């Protein structure tokens, strides 16, 4: 059968249109963080109660479009979810979990045992004195079992214990440590595993590039494994600055943790550009300083040269994460947009910081496009 030139040209044109359309669709599909990184690692964010409830519609939309994983920012901490010994408040936590399920996102529970944002009753009696070891064990088990079982099969993993070590690797002298000693950590992991045997279990801490804390966490992982207690990953909080930590030291900790047989998760990632009133406080949430104008250098906007430096520094971290995608399972930002960040009021109220991937209008910063392009190269 003879085919006319006109028919051939028309067919070729139609094919070109289809191919172009497919290319555009593919490009659009890859034009989000979660699509660009889906074969690398989960990309997550902390979600606040306004976003989970849908009251912050703009924020919720960015979370749906850009992130494949979510973690509870505050609503699962004991003072929120278990304010009194015989009373739980699951309203906000239920909204958070439902939000993640609705959007097909991997959900992390944060956190089961932490000395900060701890319910006042948890470790003391009615007179304010430390309870006995037996009573604290029972309270820990009841709390962990009740919370974990409620979301059994719905939450992929839990930050079981949060921030148990000092910078030098010594145990932080919390109420849990005062009453139970080192044993409170294995007990917490044991109780969590018993409540949901299929849930992943994590230890989470900040300033993990410091040699002392690195060594302490490695020893913890080895001790838990030796005792047959489940631990799946180490959460390396990413509360970083423009000149700390050294990326080489951060990388050293990543590799050292992975060598123990667990996965690595980059958690609570944010990059501050404003000065710290004390360079030795790490991410100690209880730290507080009086406001000083000179400590708030960018109240209106970030100068172009500072924004450029911030972008380069954040990009260096994501290059590191992509380099080691074989050991990293998740990278989680501690908030969606700059105005959501805890850093605006920590450790000094009333400052303006710019630590996240989206600006105060939920618009993506240039770093978002850079991450997507970096992912395409790896």
Residues serving a catalytic function are 163, 268
Beta strands, E only, the chain: 42-47, 69-72, 106-113, 157-162, 200-205, 233-241, 263-272, 328-333
Residue 340 backbone phi and psi in degrees, to 5: -80, -15
Q: Please write down the HEC assignment for all residues of 123-168.
A: CECCCCCECCHHHHHHHHHHHHHHHHHHCCCCCCEEEEEECCECCC
* Residue from 234, 355, 224 nearest 298 by CA: 355
Burial 70-91 (b: 16+ CB within 10 A, else e): bbbbbbbbbbbbbeeeeebebe
* Residue from 157, 144, 155 nearest 98 by CA: 155
């Amino acid at each position: 059968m003879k085919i006319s030139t006109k028919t051939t040209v028309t067919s070729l044109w139609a094919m070109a249109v289809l191919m172009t359309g497919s290319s555009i669709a593919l490009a659009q599909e890859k034009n989000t963080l979660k699509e660009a990184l889906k074969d690398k690692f989960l990309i997550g964010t902390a979600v606040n109660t306004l976003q989970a409830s849908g009251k912050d519609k703009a924020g919720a939309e960015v979370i749906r479009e850009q992130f494949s994983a979510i973690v509870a920012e505050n609503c699962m901490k004991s003072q929120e979810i278990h304010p009194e010994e015989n009373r739980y408040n699951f309203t906000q936590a239920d909204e958070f979990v439902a939000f993640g399920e609705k959007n097909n996102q991997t959900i992390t529970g944060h956190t089961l045992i932490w000395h900060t944002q701890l319910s006042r009753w948890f470790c003391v009696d009615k007179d304010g004195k430390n309870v006995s070891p037996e009573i604290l064990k029972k309270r820990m088990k009841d709390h962990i079992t009740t919370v974990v079982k409620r979301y059994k099969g719905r939450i992929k993993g839990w930050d079981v214990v949060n921030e148990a070590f000092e910078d030098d690797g010594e145990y932080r002298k919390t109420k849990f440590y005062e009453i139970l000693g080192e044993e409170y950590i294995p007990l917490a992991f044991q109780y969590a595993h018993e409540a949901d045997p299929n849930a992943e279990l994590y230890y989470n801490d900040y300033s993990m590039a410091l040699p002392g804390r690195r060594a302490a966490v490695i020893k913890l992982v080895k001790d838990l494994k030796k005792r047959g207690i489940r631990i799946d990953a180490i959460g390396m909080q990413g509360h970083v600055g423009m000149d700390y930590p050294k990326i080489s030291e951060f990388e050293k900790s990543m590799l050292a943790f992975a060598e123990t047989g667990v996965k690595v998760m980059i958690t609570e990632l944010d990059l501050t550009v404003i000065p710290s009133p004390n360079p030795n406080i790490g991410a100690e949430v209880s730290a507080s300083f009086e406001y000083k104008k000179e400590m708030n250098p960018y109240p209106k906007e970030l100068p172009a040269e500072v924004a450029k430096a911030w972008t380069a520094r954040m990009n260096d971290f994501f290059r590191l994460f992509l380099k080691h995608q074989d050991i990293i399972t998740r990278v989680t930002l501690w908030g969606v947009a700059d105005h959501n960040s805890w850093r605006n009021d920590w450790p000094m109220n009333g400052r303006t910081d710019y630590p996240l991937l989206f600006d105060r209008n939920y618009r993506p910063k240039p770093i978002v496009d850079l991450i997507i392009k970096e992912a395409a190269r790896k």
